[in-house]
Structure 1
């Protein structure tokens, strides 16, 4: 998940992802012209690294859209949202753990998060306070993968105030 908090470290994070990993391009607060420029740079790196890339909103060259009319990826915070987005290929269930990007959200905790998308035929991605250590502890619950913002950003950016 991209976010303004990455700053220039975004490109290093993209280069560190293994081929086949996915990127959801967000950058909600970025001005439209700068967002387009950044999108093109992200897409270029993603293509070269064989990363799956989707975008929030329609962006040229995206393999799909996040939370759009026919989403490739979608977010679900409860069972109702999961059912509404069951046509998506990947469903980001969140927040599994407390997260700085949504400090006021109610945390699902792992067991409840794992149950949200049961039987919907969609790949379930754990999001919210995730890191590699937490992934190892919950992957047996039926999640297909995990996503993060802070866990993939450099330490000095983790404490930065979101823009």
Structure 2
């Protein structure tokens, strides 16, 4: 689905590349076809009021809510759930299964250190969408997961600021050795996204770039 002219050029560029990557990956394996092409990662500092971005995302995208222990996590999670439902967008919660259940999320995103919990989570929550972070240094986790989020692809800020960027060639090589669909995260924006064409990524993920791109997108009524 192409976005209407009511979205910014940056939003359209990100969505076009994300959906093209997803289609290309699905042509090789059926698994990516069931996955959101675009993941918006929240951050208490870099993405204040994340529900405002969530309600502007295109249907079929997803939000990864990372509360990081914030005292207002439940309130924010419920506002995100309301916004994502209205927009036709999935909601994942970072690590916290109890919070995910409380806000009726669609699944969980696990940090790399917790990826081994995925089989147990899958047993307890069979229909959950489960993703995990991966930085490429170790054999990628597989069991119980639907997809991996590999970072940083390009020089990035936030928690990835001190990690060396993989670059397109490095990212592509890691995707080829992974047994799961892989999202590209880290420095991915409207200017860099197209460089990932042909990389094998199943979609794009981002924090500030997605917030900025969809800051003035069409809002559904």
TM-score of the two chains, using structure 2 as the length reference? 0.63
Written as runs of structure 1 = structure 2, the 5 A alignment for 1:76-115 is 76-78=134-136, 80-82=138-140, 84-85=141-142, 87-101=144-158, 102-115=160-173
Q: CA deviation at 1:27?
A: 2.5
State how far apart, in whole Å, the 1-side matches of 2:133 and 2:200 are: 17
Q: CA deviation at 1:79?
A: 5.3
State how far apart, in whole Å, the 2-side matches of 1:120 and 1:86 are: 12
State how far apart, in whole Å, the 2-side matches of 1:128 and 1:85 are: 21
Which residue of 2 is the match for residue 159 of structure 1?
none
Among residues 58, 74, 78, which one is paired with 1:36 in the alignment?
Answer: 74
1:139 aligns with 2:180: no
Asked whether the equivalents of residues 86 and 120 of structure 1 are also in contact (C-alpha less than 8 Å), the reply is no
Change (3 A) 1:136 1:86: farther
Which residue of 2 is the match for residue 160 of structure 1?
none
1:21 aligns with 2:61: yes
1:123 aligns with 2:181: yes
RMSD of aligned C-alpha atoms? 2.0
1:66 aligns with 2:109: yes
> RCO greater where, 1 or 2, for CA within 8 Å and sep 6 or more?
2
Change (3 A) 1:138 1:148: same
Matched length: 151
Q: CA deviation at 1:3?
A: 0.8
Change (3 A) 1:64 1:114: same
Which residue of 1 is the match for residue 92 of structure 2?
54
Asked whether the equivalents of residues 15 and 45 of structure 1 are also in contact (C-alpha less than 8 Å), the reply is yes
Higher alpha-carbon Rg: 2
Give the 3-state SS of the residue equivalent to 1:20 in structure 2: coil
TM-score of the two chains, using structure 1 as the length reference? 0.83
Stretches of structure 2 that go unaligned for 5 or more consecutive residues are 1-40, 122-129, 214-221
Among residues 78, 83, 97, which one is paired with 1:45 in the alignment?
Answer: 83
Which residue of 1 is the match for residue 47 of structure 2?
6
Give the 3-state SS of the residue equivalent to 1:41 in structure 2: helix
Asked whether the equivalents of residues 185 and 205 of structure 2 are also in contact (C-alpha less than 8 Å), the reply is yes
State how far apart, in whole Å, the 2-side matches of 1:131 and 1:81 are: 27
State how far apart, in whole Å, the 2-side matches of 1:136 and 1:85 are: 27
Asked whether the equivalents of residues 90 and 125 of structure 1 are also in contact (C-alpha less than 8 Å), the reply is yes
State how far apart, in whole Å, the 1-side matches of 2:203 and 2:163 are: 21
